[in-house]
């Protein structure tokens, strides 16, 4: 038999099969259930409002707040510089560029933390990097940054410094912070340690003749 005929009798049936089956569009999940459970248990996804406030005040360009509430709620109130990605549109192609990236620190937030956590869990499973959740959501944000509770005068200095920072931040970000001493913004960085930003680039496999 001629090589051409052998080739044809192998390639053509295979080609017919591949033409007939639908393309595989499922995306493999990148984490095992166990790995994800560990991350959830250790609350690795949370970023404290103090840190977000600090980044906002310093106009840190790497911060990207993502509001996962509905459009109506987003228009009513949103954090400065936030973009609106309603949870039901999370997987829409329009937003993939914002969510699947390795440059910015994405912080999901909603009113509480449930919706934001759901968004985080889905994107984490897809293997997207640099997505986090605002701890406690907007409710906790208002509680800590916008209307911080004055600690008792016998509190440790750290507590008072934290309070001063929150008061200053709240007022800078449009809350009812009240009187601020000028020194307040120069206080120590907030308690929450900055998360380690993994800068793993997705390398594409290069090829050529």
Partner 1 sequence: MGPLIVNEIISSNTNLLIAFFIGIGFGFVLEANGFSSSRRLAGMFYGYDTTVLKVFFTAAITAGIGLLFLSLFGWIDLSFIYINPTFLWSAIGGGVIMGAGFILGGYCPGTSFCAAAIGKLDALAFIGGILIGIVIFMEGYPLWEGFFKAKYMGSPLLSDWLNMSRGLLAFLIAIVAIGMFWVGEWAEKKFARDDYEINQH
Q: Report H helices in 1-128.
A: 3-20, 33-41, 49-57, 71-76, 93-99, 114-125
Tokens 């310093």 appear where? 58
76 or 202: whose CB is closer to partner 1? 202
Rule CB under 8 A: choose which of 156, 176, 182, 208 binds partner 1.
208
What are the C-alpha distances in Å from 151 to residues 13, 75, 186? 76, 33, 19
Binding status of residue 19 toward partner 1 by CB under 8 A: yes
**What mask of x and - would describe binding to partner 1 in positions 24 to 53, judged by CB under 8 A?**
x-xxx-x-----------------------
59 or 200: whose CB is closer to partner 1? 200
Q: How many CA atoms lie within 13 A of 135 on its CB side?
A: 16
**What mask of x and - would describe binding to partner 1 in positions 144 to 183, judged by CB under 8 A?**
----------------------------------------
Q: How far apart are CA 80 and CA 59, in angstroms?
A: 10
Binding residues vs partner 1 (CB under 8 A): 4, 7-8, 11-12, 14-16, 18-24, 26-28, 30, 202-209
């Amino acid at each position: 038999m001629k090589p051409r005929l052998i080739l044809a009798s192998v390639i053509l049936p295979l080609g017919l099969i591949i033409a007939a089956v639908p393309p595989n569009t499922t995306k493999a999940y990148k984490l095992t259930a166990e790995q994800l459970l560990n991350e959830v248990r250790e609350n690795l996804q949370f970023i404290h409002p103090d840190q977000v406030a600090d980044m906002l005040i310093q106009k840190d360009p790497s911060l990207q707040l993502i509001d996962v509430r509905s459009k109506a709620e987003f228009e009513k109130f949103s954090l400065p510089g936030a973009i609106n990605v309603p949870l039901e549109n999370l997987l829409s192609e329009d937003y993939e560029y914002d969510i699947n990236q390795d440059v910015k620190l994405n912080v999901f937030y909603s009113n509480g933390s449930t919706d934001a956590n759901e968004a985080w869990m889905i994107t984490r499973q897809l293997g997207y990097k640099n997505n986090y959740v605002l701890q406690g959501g907007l409710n906790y944000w208002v509680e800590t940054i916008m209307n911080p509770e004055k600690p008792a005068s016998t509190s440790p200095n750290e507590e008072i410094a934290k309070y001063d920072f929150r008061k200053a931040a709240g007022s800078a970000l449009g809350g009812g912070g009240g009187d601020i001493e000028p020194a307040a913004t120069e206080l120590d960085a907030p308690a929450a340690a900055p998360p380690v930003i993994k800068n793993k680039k997705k390398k594409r496999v290069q090829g050529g003749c």
